[in-house]
Amino acid sequence: MDIIQKLSEELNIRASQVEAAVKLLDEGNTVPFIARYRKEVTGSLDDDALRALLDRLNYLRSLEKRKDEVRNAITEQGKMTDEISDALDAAQILAEVEDIYRPYKQKRKTRASVARERGLEPLSQLIFEQRDEYERPIIDIAADYIDEEKGVATAQDALGGAKDIIAEDISDNADYRREIRALTYEYGFLSSKKAKDEDSVYSMYYDYSEKISAVPPHRVLAINRGENEEFLKAMIEVPTDIILNYLLGEVVTNPKSPAVPYVISAMTDSYDRLIAPSIEREIRSDLFDAASEGAIKLFSQNLKNLLMQAPIKGKTVLGLDPGYRTGCKLAVVDKTGKVLDTAVIYPTKPREDIEGSKKVVVRLIKKWGVDVVSIGNGTASKESEIFIADTLREFGGQVKYIMTSEAGASVYSASKLAADEFPDFDVTQRSAVSIARRIQDPLAELVKIDPKSIGVGQYQHDMKQARLDEALSGVVEDCVNAVGVDVNTASHSLLSHIAGINATTAKNIVKYREENGEFRERRQILKVPKIGAKAFEQCAGFLRVSGSDEILDNTGIHPESYAKARAIINKFGYSDEDVRASRIRGLRTAIEKYGVDKLASEIDAGAPTILDIAKELEKPGRDIRDDLPMPELRSDILDMADLKPGMILDGVVRNVIDFGAFVDIGVHQDGLVHVSEISDKFIKHPSEVLSVGDKVKVKIKSVDAVKRRISLSMKGILC
């Protein structure tokens, strides 16, 4: 297989781009580094394209490796033929390779292997020849194989063993299996029935059947979970006559032969006992893998949008972790995230000390100049929101509040990382700090938490965890590097996601910083233990040194391009001081007017690098998230009882899933916009229109106060 050409065709990328990207990856370069600083080499492939290429490259290389293993195993048995070799070359998926290897694989004890040990293989071959006629009736020929010592007591026993061998040979035929798999996909149904007589969230699947080709991914995952929890029994159903008619045409070579009834009996047994269960397992596995990949892709999109939400900068924040019996924990953090104060209040049941709690909150707001209150949206959040909204009225709208997803906050609070960061705080105090910091810098705070605990996926605990972890860690890495970090303030958890830096070297950076003071320049990073030239090459452009004498150290310009950046600065009449004072305006426009290719030739740089340098010089130290819409801050509250059908409200998308999106409309309970209610135009998937963090207008369709369900629509609303 020409892997480069195949990747080019599958991903619709030029072969030269694929070849360049693969070479860079094989040389140990990271995806963020290649995407940002090797655009000329790859033709400007971005992070997403490179990750897709890397995933597929790994699969195809695994496929080729398995082909070689199978080829060697068959060759060692002395059974390799040109036909088998060609079939291996043509195999496109691992399942096809395993089908080819099946007849040559060392098998555990089977009915067919027992029959072979009893000497019945010649009889099976004789029957499968399907001669026009035999010298004696087949039952009489079978009697010749009676051997009580071998366990063949009768002619029927001999025939049964021979048919077992024929059945296994049919099952081991790669061509048959490939076609039966295709027929099952085309004509089969995924069905499920209830496994126990009790109501459950899986009741809609108690009598369910849908064509395999039409089953949505989320239903596959739901059925799998229902089966694992023993509420459902799932199966693949296919019209048997379609499969048997196909096999009949392949297996029966002489319809007039007296051996045909025995061949058909073995063929039917082969399908029912060997092929059908195996194909069902394969298809169920394929459906699960495809659904998982879809869910992982959606989870990745949601996570990226969540991590890249605009930070609320320059605000002092009061974080509130709601609770009942143990009270609501408070933490005030300054504009840099430093903890200034903590407290506990009891405005909720059972104490309901509203007045005492109000005094504490007012005191903290006035003492520290709090700008925003960040309220976790978990247990007791509704009562806490009502209390805070009422308390903030005396500040005349000067102090706002925001409902913040606390998904994963408890995981972080109980982690070793949190214990190391706040050894004197209990878990709820740490959670209050996290809830406050999440709005100041979502990325810096959320990277401390396992992405699976952040609450923006579906069925994440049902899929292959290694694959999910790999995909989500890639998303986190891309986001952190897209934003960049200040090497003098970033935590080791944030630094560990920078290209070229791992957990060990991240801790080494923090330790070096603590022992030697702040970094004064990028090159100083090379003094950190275990960071060599290659690691520095990968990480340098993503690490900012805001106080450096070298102004370019506080930009996304890579040190390898400093000379080129200086040439551009000088060419257009600017100085370092102009960069430092952010006085450079319209540089990209000037370059385009001058001629990008002309300038590229003069300073020996590629056009993408020149334009990236110009963008950085115009906004040194810029945060790309600053261009995104700010989170919604509130000053008043709605109650679920206030909702009426037809009301139009502002909302924020909290989660996008296969069948719709959950939207926060400010009543504690998120509402669901079904995919059919998202757009006036037909869409296949909610992600075509919505992303996590989007501000939207929604209309109330219905409210079920008992089940606490809110149905929303976006149709016919002018946003």
Question: How far does Cα 178 stand from its chain's mean position?
Answer: 30
How far are the Cα atoms of 28, 44, 501 from residue 32, in angstroms, in the given order? 12, 12, 12
Rounded to whole angstroms, the Cα distance separating 413 from 433 reads: 9
Rounded to whole angstroms, the Cα distance separating 470 from 425 reads: 32
Question: Taking the model in full, what pTM does it have?
Answer: 0.84
Identify which of 119, 128, 121 has the alpha carbon closest to the alpha carbon of residue 165: 121
For a pLDDT cut of 70, what percent of the chain falls above it?
99
Least confident range of 129-138, 147-156, 408-417, 424-433:
408-417
Strands (E), 469-509: 485-486
Q: How large is the C-alpha radius of gyration of the chain?
A: 33
pLDDT tens string 319-365:
999 999 999 999 999 999 999 999 999 999 999 999 999 999 999 99
Return phi, psi of residue 192, to 5°: -150, 145
Would the pLDDT of 188 be above 70? yes
Instruction: Write the CATH number of the domain with boundaries 317-473.
Output: 3.30.420.140
Rounded to whole angstroms, the Cα distance separating 524 from 527 reads: 6
- pLDDT for the residue numbered 664: 86
Q: What tokens were used for 235? A: 């199966």
For all residues of the chain together, what is the average pLDDT?
A: 93
Would the pLDDT of 116 be above 70? yes
- pLDDT for the residue numbered 667: 79
Q: Are strands 648-657 and 372-376 parallel, antiparallel or unpaired?
A: unpaired
Mean pLDDT, residues 530-547:
96
Exposure string (b/e) for 223-262, b if CB count within 10 Å is 16 or more?
Answer: bbbbbeeebbebebebeeeebbebbbeebeeeeebebbeb
Instruction: Write the CATH number of the domain with boundaries 640-713.
Output: 2.40.50.140
Do the beta carbons of residue 406 and residue 445 sit within 8 Å? no
- pLDDT for the residue numbered 453: 86
Would the pLDDT of 411 be above 90? no
Cβ–Cβ contacts within 10 Å for residue 304, how many?
Answer: 21
How far are the Cα atoms of 471, 472, 491 from residue 301, in angstroms, in the given order? 11, 10, 25
pLDDT tens string 590-647:
999 999 999 999 999 999 999 999 999 998 878 888 887 778 787 776 677 888 899 8
Q: What tokens were used for 670? A: 């998120």
Rounded to whole angstroms, the Cα distance separating 548 from 544 reads: 9
For a pLDDT cut of 90, what percent of the chain falls above it?
81
Least confident range of 54-58, 462-466, 656-660:
462-466
How far are the Cα atoms of 495, 501, 630, 678 from residue 693, in angstroms, in the given order? 25, 29, 9, 16
Residue 658: which residues within 8 A CB-CB, separation 6 or more?
216, 217, 218, 294, 295, 298, 458, 675, 685, 686
- pLDDT for the residue numbered 204: 94
CA 42, 44, 50, 56 dihedral sign is negative
Do the beta carbons of residue 38 and residue 32 sit within 8 Å? no
More confident residue, 705 or 174: 174
Identify which of 320, 235, 224 has the alpha carbon closest to the alpha carbon of residue 279: 235
Please identify which residue in the block is written with the tokens 């879809």.
Answer: 294
Mean pLDDT, residues 32-49:
97
The torsion angle over the Cα atoms of residues 26, 29, 35 and 36, rounded to 10 degrees, is -150
Identify which of 98, 29, 3 has the alpha carbon closest to the alpha carbon of residue 534: 29
Please identify which residue in the block is written with the tokens 């959606």.
Answer: 298
Would the pLDDT of 719 be above 80? no
So what's the architecture of 3-75 in CATH? Orthogonal Bundle (1.10)
Paired residues of 208 in beta bridges: 192
By CB atoms closer than 10 A (0-12, 13-18, 19+), residue 197 is: exposed
Q: What is the DSSP string of 653-693?
A: EEEEETTEEEEE-SSSSPEEEEGGGT-SS--SSGGGT--TT
- pLDDT for the residue numbered 165: 97
Residue 350, preceding bond cis, omega within 30 degrees?
A: yes
Residue 98: which residues within 8 A CB-CB, separation 6 or more?
none
Mean pLDDT, residues 542-565:
95
Rounded to whole angstroms, the Cα distance separating 506 from 490 reads: 10
Do the beta carbons of residue 647 and residue 712 sit within 8 Å? no
pLDDT tens string 485-499:
999 999 999 999 999
- Locate the domains of the chain by residue range: 3-75, 317-473, 510-627, 640-713
Do the beta carbons of residue 464 and residue 292 sit within 8 Å? yes
Predicted confidence band at 107 (pLDDT cuts at 50, 70, 90)?
A: confident
Paired residues of 652 in beta bridges: 664, 695
- pLDDT for the residue numbered 558: 97
Do the beta carbons of residue 179 and residue 244 sit within 8 Å? no
Rounded to whole angstroms, the Cα distance separating 308 from 475 reads: 11
Do the beta carbons of residue 661 and residue 700 sit within 8 Å? no
Mean pLDDT, residues 412-439:
92
Instruction: Write the CATH number of the domain with boundaries 510-627.
Output: 1.10.150.310
- pLDDT for the residue numbered 718: 61
